[in-house]
Amino acid sequence: MKQAQPNHASATLTDAKRYRIDPTRRWPTRHRGIRYRLSRSLERTYFVSWNGSSVPAGRTEAEALTKQAELRRSAGRGEQPTIPTKITFAQLAEQWFAAKSERLRRKTIKNYRDALDLVLLPRFGGWRIAAIDPNAISELIRDLQREGLHALDRSRKTRPLGRSSVENYLKPLQGVLALALRRGLIATNPFSALTVDDRPKPEEPKPAHEWSDDDVNTLLQASERLAARPESRYDYTPLLRVTATLGLRLGEVLGLRWEDFDKDAGTLHVRRQWTRFGEYAAPKTRAGVRRIAIPTDLRDELIALRLRSDHSRDAQPIFASKSGTPLMHRNVVRRGFEPIRNEAGLTNVTFHSLRGAAVSRLIRASLDPVTVADFIGHEDPHTTLRVYASLWDRQKTDEAIRLALGGQSPASRTQAG
């Protein structure tokens, strides 16, 4: 037989035991959206249901009705009411991460997970979400820039972090606090109150290496010398030539398959990338999917490479390991590029900076930023301008000097044209 609900208005402690009153249960009232919790001492605490949360609303039904009216008025004015909560950063962070993980690339997911595990959870994991204020964020930024991960884990060496690294570690924190604001758990996002002095200290921008044809030739010659040695395990020269000529990202060049090479049309299609997780994925951006017209000498080199390759079927990678799989990022950089770079005496360049070799050649040919951005797979030409601004500035300056030394001004040349 179903047990009757006790009359809480006149209940006694004996009644509480008899009816097994659960202090965690919230009982309905005659007012929609208002419930109360009954303690074992028969004291009531009222709650208002609001946007999926229970907002504490006092000890009486009248106080609960007043709180409900306040929330409705705030919503009518377009305001976001703050809901007092004991939820911790760790709890909300895991909810945020679970939702994000369904939509992001594996690399981004890994970066966010690392940021949470290495920095944010050790610092803020047990904090109530509302306790994370601008001062707490500013202090974390200073610690990371001064000591690096040593500030969170004393077993690590002190290694100050630069601006970009600090900002990457802060991205999940920004996301979690934005979620807290949307749910009404905080009144404002503390990131909005940070001053310029609070934010990560800007670094001196490093100009892109201005690759010359001599630099590229020196690099390729060094690659050929190392490949000719008896102990050499792989010839990276064709891979470096394709990268330096076409400005491909490392994942893009490793993701090339023979079906992407059209020898008759003299084109190469970038359709995918090979990730650090050992799998194919879409290029980094939508603009990364592109068709590139390649010079005749590079086309001929690819034809020769396919003829001597043991893995030359359409679905196989152009740059394959001995087992026929794409080369791995780490091996290309550590075993291939870095020894070749050192052999060539170009110790200040990285594999990624090889993209600049192609960009330098295009800028010297006076191609516009939109064309260059399309060629190297940038979605926004402004990104191309920002990254390679020094190269365009040098091109303009050199042209102006040539005209001046030749007795012309840019204006007179324009009028003559």
Superfamily of domain 89-193: Tyrosine recombinase, N-terminal domain (1.10.150.130)
Helix axes 369-376, 355-364, angle to 10 degrees: 150
Cβ proximity of 18 and 10 under 8 Å: no
pLDDT at 414 over 60: no
pLDDT at 37 over 70: yes
Do the domains at 89-193 and 213-388 have one common CATH topology?
no
- For the record, the structure tokens of 147 come out as 């000591």
- Helix/strand/coil (H, E, C) string of the chain? CCCCCCCCCCCCHHHHHHCCCCCCCEEECCCCCEEEEECCCCCEEEEEEECCEEEECCCCHHHHHHHHHHHHHHHHCCCCCCCCCCCEHHHHHHHHHHHHHCCCCHHHHHHHHHHHHHHHHHHHCCCEHHHCCHHHHHHHHHHHHHHHHHHCCCCCCCCCCCHHHHHHHHHHHHHHHHHHHHCCCCCCCHHHHCCCCCCCCCCCCCCCCCCCHHHHHHHHHHHHHHHCCCCCCCCCHHHHHHHHHHCCCHHHHHCCEHHHEECCCCEEEECCEECCCCCEECCCCHHHCEEEECCHHHHHHHHHHHHHCCCCCCCCECCECCCCCECCHHHHHHHHHHHHHHHHCCCCCCCHHHHHHHHHHHHHCCCCHHHHHHHHCCCCHHHHHHHCHHHHHHHHHHHHHHHHHCCCCHHHHHHHC
Average pLDDT rounded to a whole number, residues 6-30: 60
Average pLDDT rounded to a whole number, residues 30-56: 79
Q: How many Cα atoms sit within 13 Å of 235 on the Cβ side?
A: 15
Cβ proximity of 194 and 138 under 8 Å: yes
Of 181 and 259, the one with more pLDDT:
259
For domain 213-388, say whether CATH 1.10.443.10 is its number: yes
pLDDT at 3 over 60: no
Q: What confidence score (pLDDT) does residue 395 get? A: 62
Q: What confidence score (pLDDT) does residue 225 get? A: 96
Q: How confident is the model at residue 310 (pLDDT cuts 50, 70, 90)?
A: very high
Q: What confidence score (pLDDT) does residue 205 get? A: 62
pTM for this structure? 0.62
Q: What confidence score (pLDDT) does residue 252 get? A: 95
List Cα–Cα distances, 282 to 274, 324, 374, in angstroms.
9, 21, 17
Segment 386-398, tens digit of pLDDT: 777 666 666 666 6
Average pLDDT rounded to a whole number, residues 45-53: 77
Cβ proximity of 377 and 283 under 8 Å: yes
| CA nearest neighbour of 282 among 39, 105, 139 | 105
Enumerate the domain spans of the chain.
13-76, 89-193, 213-388
pLDDT at 73 over 90: no
Segment 169-195, tens digit of pLDDT: 999 999 999 998 888 788 788 898 888
pLDDT at 370 over 50: yes
Q: How confident is the model at residue 76 (pLDDT cuts 50, 70, 90)?
A: confident
Helix axes 355-364, 213-227, angle to 10 degrees: 150
- For the record, the structure tokens of 195 come out as 């001053």
Q: How confident is the model at residue 291 (pLDDT cuts 50, 70, 90)?
A: very high
Q: What confidence score (pLDDT) does residue 1 get? A: 45
pLDDT at 273 over 90: yes
Range of lowest pLDDT (89-98, 194-203, 299-308) = 194-203
- For the record, the structure tokens of 375 come out as 């060629």
Segment 121-131, tens digit of pLDDT: 999 999 988 88
Torsion of the alpha carbons at 283, 288, 291 and 294, rounded to the nearest 10: -100
The span from the CA of 268 to the CA of 247, in Å, is 12
Q: How confident is the model at residue 297 (pLDDT cuts 50, 70, 90)?
A: very high
- Which residues lie across from 56 on neighbouring strands? 47
Average pLDDT rounded to a whole number, residues 93-106: 88
| CA nearest neighbour of 350 among 243, 271, 252, 264 | 243
**pLDDT above 90 coverage of the chain, percent:** 47
- For the record, the structure tokens of 232 come out as 């050499």
The span from the CA of 180 to the CA of 186, in Å, is 6
The span from the CA of 241 to the CA of 235, in Å, is 11
Q: What confidence score (pLDDT) does residue 138 get? A: 93
Q: What confidence score (pLDDT) does residue 40 get? A: 66
Q: What confidence score (pLDDT) does residue 408 get? A: 62
Calculate the average pLDDT of the chain: 84
Q: How confident is the model at residue 2 (pLDDT cuts 50, 70, 90)?
A: very low
- For the record, the structure tokens of 255 come out as 């993701």
**pLDDT above 70 coverage of the chain, percent:** 83
Segment 206-255, tens digit of pLDDT: 666 778 889 999 999 999 999 999 999 999 999 999 999 999 999 999 99
